[in-house]
Amino acid sequence: DSQIVVAIDGPGGAGKSTVAAEVARRIGGLYFDTGIVYRALALVALENGVALDDEDALGKLARELRIRVAPPSKQDGRLYDVWLDGRDVTWAIRTPEIDRAASQVAAHREVRSALLGLQREIGRSGRVVMAGRDIGTVVMPDAPVKVWLDASLEERARRRQRDLAARGVVVSLEDVKAELAERDRRDAERAVAPMRPAEDAVVIDTDGRSIEDVVRLVIKVIEERC
């Protein structure tokens, strides 16, 4: 089948990006990391002094968000470019401050409904692997393949710390753990589209598994269900 939607959800640091990008490459599909829409909105809000609890103002910003994702223009470890009004914000949306702000703006109903259409449009574009928190439950509930990637907080924090260190950002493991735990709690407890596995999702615990291992498991699910 040419049209395949693979939904990969799970908490921060579970390996969604790495796995989703590699799965997309192997099936010849597009990789769409949906977290970037909330991250881009958070960046615009912070830059324009919009309060992270001002749902109306954030909803308006979300409706006006002009975000473009493109193949990587630089070889600096990025998987893709993120452009906002002609500005390359690929790394600007990957700071600890944006991690926190993104999960705050993502909790608002107005924001989520404003950003749903553009995610679905990309989801309907053919072969696509989408990573996020609510892809299997809300964005693409009919996706034939749904995967929930998880890992212990300890392991996720170590991965996140390593990613940040690779870009010269030094943070203690304790701080990363606290931030991840706080973000997970906010994402799981929000009223709208809370982070949770879809009923028909295949759950994969990535603790102690290599990326290759996890990628193979996902490909197996795709072969079974498509």
Q: Which of 120, 122, 126 is nearest to 140 (CA)?
A: 120
**Residue among 104 and 215 whose Cβ is closer to ligand C5P:** 104
Question: C-alpha angle with apex 137: 134 to 138, nearest 5 degrees?
Answer: 70
AA letter at 190: R
Location of structure tokens 């990391």 = 33
Binding flag, residue 148, ligand C5P (CB under 6 A): no
Segment interacting with ligand C5P (CB under 6 A) among 49-57, 99-107, 157-165, 213-221: 99-107
**Residue among 29 and 132 whose Cβ is closer to ligand C5P:** 132
**Residue among 39 and 146 whose Cβ is closer to ligand C5P:** 39
Binding flag, residue 38, ligand C5P (CB under 6 A): yes
Residue 188 CB, shortest distance to ligand C5P, in Å, is 10
Binding flag, residue 132, ligand C5P (CB under 6 A): yes
H or E element in which residue 216 lies: helix 211-225
Binding flag, residue 183, ligand C5P (CB under 6 A): yes
In the list 5, 8, 12, 84, the residue contacting ligand C5P (rule: CB under 6 A) is 12
Give the pairing of strands 145-150 and 5-9: parallel
**How far from chain centre, in Å, is Cα 40?**
12
